[in-house]
Structure 1
Amino acid sequence: MDRVRVRFAPSPTGFLHLGGARTALFNWAFARKMKGTFILRIEDTDVVRSTEASVEVILESLEWLGLHWDEGPRVGGPYGPYFQSERLHFYREYAEKLLREGLAYRCYCTPEELEERRQMVIAKGESWRYDRKCYALPDAERKRLEEQGRKPVLRFFIPPGTTTFQDMLRGEVLFHNQELDDFVIMKSDGMPTYNFACVVDDALMRITHVIRGDDHISNTPRQVLLYRALDFPVPEFAHIPMILGKDRTRLSKRHGSPSVTYYRDKGYLPEAMLNYLARLSWATGEEEKEIFTREEIIERFSLSQVTKHAAVFDLDKLNWMNGVYIRKTDNRYLASLLRDILLREGRFREEDFTPEFLEYLENLIAIMKDRLKYLAQIVEEADYFFREDFAFDPEAFEKVLLPEGTEEILRECLKALQDLPDFTVETLENAIRKKAEELNLKAARLIHPLRVSVSGQKVGPGLFELLSVLGKERVLKRIERALDALEERRRTS
């Protein structure tokens, strides 16, 4: 068997979505398992929609996931270029070959003419396939049309019979050629179509296995016919199932963002995302095991274990899995990721991240990580860590701070905390519990107002851990702010 060579070939027309990332992962894992080569090819022949910014986003997304390619953009390789827009001479060369051998022909039909004929066929209750009007066009007619300014497309001639191929997940797949029409391989502007460019590139890049989404199955018979017409070896195919939302429709923005960069920017960890994507449609045979390291994925991955039915994207499960990885991850590293989130959101400038502030981020992560599904949750649900003008939850203010006697309790707590020589968890807890005994109150009668005073919320991390992380100066100012808010409420009510 030849050395395995697989490719991931995205079109740079937007972000890398989760389905594409899972396809890249399966190709990468198969290549690593088989000691083969993982190739990245950018299919940018759609000149209107393809952008350099999208190329960069795709490369960044793959690198973030750790799916490093052996050949392709930035790294080069012996079978480049790896951008289709730089390979146009190859497509023209092989299109001319098909034309010379009578396996392709020029078609001068305009879109309007094709649509008119299509509607006529449909009106009869029949299905439309190109009617080969231009297949045997006389030279004189071709010349006349060209003099009118018509630029032809090239169509591939579909032979009679059937086309079969072996799918590594589905076994033998058969198509009747009469169900296919003479499809366009080169457009009138000289650009190749997807099916044609894909075949030429896969052949010239020595691709041995094509692993892609099962939405491409209908393209495969056309590509197999092209491989054979061009005397190229036909690679093996594996069409992996799509990823659906919980409503069993194709994954889209309404199911949550489908892009990799969205989850990166939310503070999901690449190891968790890779693990989660790997488990979509991969039946490992260890159904009780959910957590797989990168090395375990490579070691155990097999296309024979990939299921044929669609996978369902479950955000709750991804959140659970990411939480598992967060709890296993070093606080300093998590703090660096939180720093990036804060910078992206424009809350702070680069110079704000002093050693003291970075230590503060590390400490707050230590008390929050057991509650986290993703890192941006800290910013979304606990912004009191980063601002002094946080809002008080209305219900918490009414039920916890407004009851009679709370102001006096807060003033007593303020005195107790002002006298503390240090703000460790132990000294804070001892001081508050001692004050509760002095006031002949349960500790909870002090703890709840203190929490709302320093965070604006009724729930959160352990109070004494929270006070310790916030530090003495912040805590005292926040208690005074809560007292001012209570005084203002009573004055205006």
Structure 2
Amino acid sequence: MTTPIRTRIAPSPTGFLHLGTARTALYSWAFARHHGGEFVLRIEDTDVARSTQDSVDQIIAAMKWLGLQYDEGPVYQMQRLDRYKAVVDQMLAAGTAYHCYCTPDDLEKMKADQEARGEKRRYDGTWRPLPGKTLPAIPEGVKPVVRFANPADGEVSWDDLVKGPITIGNKEIDDLIIVRDDGVPTYNFAVVVDDWDMRISHVFRGDEHINNTPWQINMFRALGAALPQFGHLPIILGDDGLKLSKRRGAVSVTDYEDNGYLPEGMNNYLARLGWSHGDDELFTLEQMVAWFDGSHLNRSPAQWDPAKLLWVNAHHMKQAGDARLAALAVAQLKKKGIEAQADDAMAARCALLKDRCQTTVELAGWLEMFYEPQAAPQAEVDQHVTDAAKTALRTLRDKLETATWDKAGIAAAMKETLAAHAIKMPQLAIPLRVVVCGRAQTPAIDALLALFDRQVVLDRLRTV
């Protein structure tokens, strides 16, 4: 790359950071990091009526959880109004923008007439100054908007980083509003000024913005500003085949954090929703940065697959450090009203159990048995905790009272019990699991019991 690489993510704080924006942020961040560039967080808060501080806080929290550190920002558009006004004044003076006094009623009549004539609904240039043209008289009491004087002829072309070459004729677009009558800039104008000022070199965003790109390119050129390269990413479809949106499904990034997913699992899965590196399915964020040069981006929509996300997250659960999992599990247990400590004992429990878990919520579900008695399904109790099993469990309880409290000591006590009653391991181990753990299937029972407090195990065995 011959110019410094600077990318950005620019969410609107009218809701949470959803998965599509998170994927865009991930790609933008990884591209900048791969090329030794910089990544900017910009908050596009010009929709004053719908923007909230709660949304801003959630966006920043989600970015932090994903580990997508930004080098600049957050930059807020509403703090840049003076800059937008200065650029608009420059454009008005240069003739690349003009005031328009059409009221909403005027515009609706204009477009209704066009529709009646079978024409495309669009602004007809009533207030656009042209050589020899006489403009209407300025109406009293009407605050003007500012419109961009879009080139009337020619085409706008760019080589999209994802879609390839795209060309749109200027006759297909009209003179859009760039400043509302209250002085607040519109999206298409503010984003151009921001990307220009922030020296953004590459813009990754959803392909719903393709139709905005010709206007933006024309404004960059009108301002004499260098064009960024654009890459428009295909949408993400839900498991029902419809576009994921804020109104459909649990698509908030922080919802997944709350539900026990790891950021490395989410990043890994999001990365594969529109990009590939050979056949690699499982990788770290560091590996992605090493591979993500902007190529191999898919042109087709990606399908959200909750089961695949769980599979990916389960892999990263196995790779995660035990002390870290202990802290995450303690937080999940606290939601259940169980107070626990993220100590060495908890880390040892996580080490034994994590291979069976897809999320930290599942891990906390396993860990509950160390703090509160767990009632096994009655069918399992009836099947496994027979009179013969109860007799063997009482013998084991007596031996466990004096056994060395570690895996070897517990295993020795179990072998002695098997010999005393002439039974096989499943005839003791399964009812032992049901009574102490509340489930018939667990990791190696001697290793698991060693992680319990001895008195807890003895108390539960006294119930048979």
TM-score of the superposition, structure 1-length normalised?
0.85
- Separation in structure 2 between the aligned mates of residue 229 and residue 258 of structure 1, nearest angstrom: 38
2:325 pairs with 1:329: no
Q: Tell me the CA shift for residue 263 of structure 1.
A: 2.5
The 1:336/1:131 distance shift into structure 2, 3 A limit, reads same
Decide whether the 8 Å contact of 1:26 with 1:278 is kept in 2. yes
- Separation in structure 2 between the aligned mates of residue 468 and residue 212 of structure 1, nearest angstrom: 52
Aligned to 1:314: 305
Aligned to 2:125: 132
Q: Number of residue pairs matched?
A: 459
Decide whether the 8 Å contact of 2:353 with 2:366 is kept in 1. no
Decide whether the 8 Å contact of 2:313 with 2:359 is kept in 1. yes
Select which of 371, 389, 396 maps to 1:413: 396
Unaligned runs of 5+ in 2: none
2:358 pairs with 1:376: no
Q: Tell me the CA shift for residue 123 of structure 1.
A: 5.6
Q: Tell me the CA shift for residue 28 of structure 1.
A: 1.6
Aligned to 1:275: 268
Within a 5 Å distance, the mapping from 1:9-408 to structure 2 comes to 9-73=10-74, 82-115=75-108, 117-119=110-112, 121-122=114-115, 126-135=119-128, 141-144=137-140, 146=141, 150-161=142-153, 162-252=155-245, 257-284=250-277, 286-287=278-279, 289-343=280-334, 345=335, 347-348=337-338, 353=341, 358-380=343-365, 383-388=368-373, 390-401=374-385, 403-408=386-391
Decide whether the 8 Å contact of 2:207 with 2:234 is kept in 1. yes
Q: Tell me the CA shift for residue 245 of structure 1.
A: 2.3
- Separation in structure 2 between the aligned mates of residue 127 and residue 303 of structure 1, nearest angstrom: 37
Q: Tell me the CA shift for residue 112 of structure 1.
A: 4.7
- Separation in structure 2 between the aligned mates of residue 303 and residue 425 of structure 1, nearest angstrom: 51
Percent of residue pairs bearing the same amino acid type: 39
- Separation in structure 2 between the aligned mates of residue 338 and residue 382 of structure 1, nearest angstrom: 8
Aligned to 1:76: none
Q: Tell me the CA shift for residue 363 of structure 1.
A: 2.1
Decide whether the 8 Å contact of 1:396 with 1:456 is kept in 2. no
Displacement over 6 Å in runs of 4+: 136-140
Aligned to 2:405: 423
Q: Tell me the CA shift for residue 335 of structure 1.
A: 1.0
What RMSD over aligned residues (CA atoms) do the two structures have, in Å?
A: 2.6
SS in 2 for 1:469: coil
One-letter amino acid of the structure 2 residue matched with residue 417 of structure 1: L
The 1:115/1:447 distance shift into structure 2, 3 A limit, reads farther
Bigger drift between 369-378 and 103-112 goes to 103-112
Q: Tell me the CA shift for residue 256 of structure 1.
A: 5.7
Q: Tell me the CA shift for residue 130 of structure 1.
A: 2.2
Decide whether the 8 Å contact of 2:354 with 2:363 is kept in 1. no
Q: Tell me the CA shift for residue 193 of structure 1.
A: 0.7
- Separation in structure 1 between the aligned mates of residue 208 and residue 246 of structure 2, nearest angstrom: 19
